[in-house]
Amino acid sequence: MRRLVLERRMETPWALTLASPLLAVGLTLVSAVLVFLAMGRDPLEALFVYFVMPVSDLWGLQEVAVKATPLVLIAVGLALCYRSNNWNIGAEGQFLMGAMAGGWLAVATHGMGAGAWVLPAMLAMGALGGALFALIPALLKTRFGANEILTSLMLVYVAELLLDWLVRGPWRDPQGFNMPQTVVFAPEATIPLLMEGGRLNLGTPIMLLVVVLVALMVARTLKGFEITLVGEAPRAARFAGFDAKRLTWTVFAIAGGLAGLAGVLEAAGTVRMLQPGLSPGYGFTAIIVAFLGRLNPVGCLVAGVFLAITFIGGENAQIMMQMPLDVTRVFQGLLLFYVLGCDTLLLYRVRWVRRAEA
Amino acid sequence: MTLSRRNILLGGGALGAAAASPAQAQAPLNVGFILIGPVGDFGWSTMHDQGRRRMLEVLGDRVRATQVEAVAPPDFDRVATQLVRTGSRLIFTTSFSYFQATQRVAGQNPNVFWESATGTATARNLAIYNARFYEGRYVQGVIAARKSRSKTIGYVASFPVPEVIHAINTVMRGAWSVDPQMRIRVVWAGAWFNPGREADAARALIDQGCDVICQHTDSPAPLQLAEQRGNVFGFGQASDMTRFAPRAHLTSSVNNWGDYYVARARAVLDGSWQPTDTWGGLDSGMFRLAPFTNMTPEEASEAERIRDALAAGTLHPFEGPITRQDGTPVIPAGQRLTDDQIRAQNYFYQGIEVQMP
């Protein structure tokens, strides 16, 4: 008798780490072709509409950048958390909290003709709001040993309901026909656009700057080494004198701050108001981005752009090929499925063993 | 400055071309549709989808249609712009949640004709359209008063926008015309389409003693829940929902956008498109009431009589006297609310014990 077992690899070859997400993408593409064929569509045309059209002109590139910006910002912060074994699942809540903290200033100063200080202050408050909100699960973890997966996830609902209440109640636009939304932010509370005829705004350069800074921090600083070491070898990290609890506070604050910054950038840049549907699940999609990017800041950038392309490609497929929305959803599901599947095969070796041996 | 001048020139050129050039008329008109829910919601979005199909059926190869479903309001700008970029010249944005954004993109794309399903203002290239669904609500109120034993109507509402507020007011107008003791309870689902929350809302209402459920959300979930509970009745929304609740269904308001879409696409094709404000009643065919079910012949014939009177205009749901919840008079007897007053209705009537959320 022989059976199949998964055996943990002692060491994952470096090349495979890079190949895994590529393999996942490749398998998704193959599946996509099969789905298109089954639907009776030309697979080449469909793949073109999905993956090439979104990046084939300046307008499309701008839209991809706009969509990728919040995903990458959040994912970079989450990558730091996950590297150090801090499982922050609540970026969605930290994103919304940042949007609310920054958006409050926009609502409070609306119609007062406030000066240019408003926007920088909003960004700072957004980052601060997200960071403080993320410190709640950090506190609960370090002080009481509460599982941060649960606490951070539960706080997402708290943030969602708070936003819901604010835009239905105290912050509702008095001229908005009772729709649950704030006023449209005044120009001084809106992120400036960078190009005529598109929606690219200052958020994208900020995101790129963050990616560079975090990549440098991970690769070149002691703090970066500490984050990796605490995650991979907690005992060794203790011997080296690193304080795992302090690090939990640090990474939660950074991740929450970046998610909060993404939130206020989205509210003041793309949506220009607060409303309950502010985030189409950016905080959760960013978890996929972080893992697809192998918890590496630059990897997160690549993965975030890729996911943004599939999202906009899905809309294009509806527009150009009259394909239903469900097909897009199927692809995003398949991608995650293959990423996780491929990762399993990288971390583990599949082996046939004799039952007698086991 | 350059941008706006170029846009105006572009817009002027395109409008002129659509009106005059025969070459333009021969190329099929590309019509875009942006839907708030999935086409499979069996309600609001499904009926817009059927309107699109009807337009394709009637106008054949003179038109092409492009539809994007379940577009969240923050994604609206991108989808609308992409439709314009891929050649749509007439675009229907089918939710009030898109109205402000439609005003914005219509300004940015003056060479495209925009149509917003419900809205509060027109612009040079923006028309608004809606149906007088409140006429159906009045009939619902009359039927509910006949069917309810607890004398309490439950209302699954979406958002407290004027469209929903005046519908709630009108249901009660209809109910009070039969029995002044009728009361109403409202649960705000906070969504146009969310079957889970809609069912929860209906469950809460039934638990509070409501035995006729009206819904202002798009899925059949509230009606299905009424069916499951038994001894509770309900009304379908947007499409004929009889099959979802054969024992609970009383009637449905059945939307029909097809004829409107045909007329509007035709208007663009022959250059006669105008930024109109259309608000069609039962007589216009923009919606009808599905066959009455689970009613006695007397109840059904009364409902028919009321429906026909509304369609003929001999009965009007917004006749005075109208008094606000807090007792402030709005209009005295003998007067009638104007369309603009109905569209801006932001208050419940006296006797409706519901808090504005």
**Domain ranges for chain A:** 1-41+323-358, 66-298
Token code pair at residue B139: 């009939």
| CB-CB under 8 Å, B165 with A324 | no
Which H/E stretch holds residue A8?
Answer: strand A2-8
How many Å lie between the alpha carbon of A256 and the closest alpha carbon of chain B?
Answer: 22
How far is the first Cα of chain A from the last one, in angstroms, to the nearest whole number? 11
pLDDT digits (tens, 9 = 90+) for B118-130: 888 899 999 999 9
CATH pick for B134-254+289-343 out of 3.30.2310.20, 3.90.1150.10, 3.40.50.2300, 1.25.40.340: 3.40.50.2300
Is A149 in a helix, a strand, or coil? Answer: helix
How much is the pLDDT for A355? 66
- CA nearest neighbour of B306 among B88, B141, B89, B70: B141
Name the CATH architecture for the domain at B2-132+257-284.
Answer: 3-Layer(aba) Sandwich (3.40)
Model confidence band, residue B63 (pLDDT cutoffs 50, 70, 90): very high
Which residues of A sit within 8 Å Cβ distance of B? Answer: 59, 63, 66, 164, 168, 177-180, 184, 196-197, 199, 266, 270-271, 275-278, 280, 312, 315-316, 318-320, 322, 324-325
| pLDDT > 70: percent of chain A | 99
**Residue A54, pLDDT above cutoff 70:** yes
How much is the pLDDT for A317? 85
How much is the pLDDT for B9? 37
- Alpha-carbon distances, residue A176 vs A183, A266, A280, B96 (angstroms): 7, 20, 22, 11
**B80 within 8 A of B55, measured Cβ to Cβ:** no
How much is the pLDDT for A341? 85
Report helix angle A297-321 to A203-220, nearest 10.
150
| Other Cβ atoms closer than 10 A to A327 | 19
How much is the pLDDT for B70? 87
Average confidence (pLDDT) over A198-225:
94
Portions of chain B given CATH number 3.40.50.2300: 2-132+257-284, 134-254+289-343
Residue predicted with more confidence, A156 or A317: A156
Contacts of B161 in chain A (CB under 8 A): 177-179
Q: Which ranges in A221-281 belong to alpha helices (H)?
A: 222-232, 234-239, 244-265
pLDDT digits (tens, 9 = 90+) for B26-54: 689 999 999 998 888 888 999 999 999 99
Task: State which residue of chain A sits closest to B39, comparing Cα positions.
Answer: A324
Is A54 in a helix, a strand, or coil? Answer: helix
Residue predicted with more confidence, B26 or A152: A152
The answer, for B68 touching chain A at a CB cutoff of 8 Å, is: yes
Model confidence band, residue B206 (pLDDT cutoffs 50, 70, 90): very high
Average confidence (pLDDT) over A31-56:
88
| CB-CB under 8 Å, B68 with A318 | yes
How far is the first Cα of chain B from the last one, in angstroms, to the nearest whole number? 43
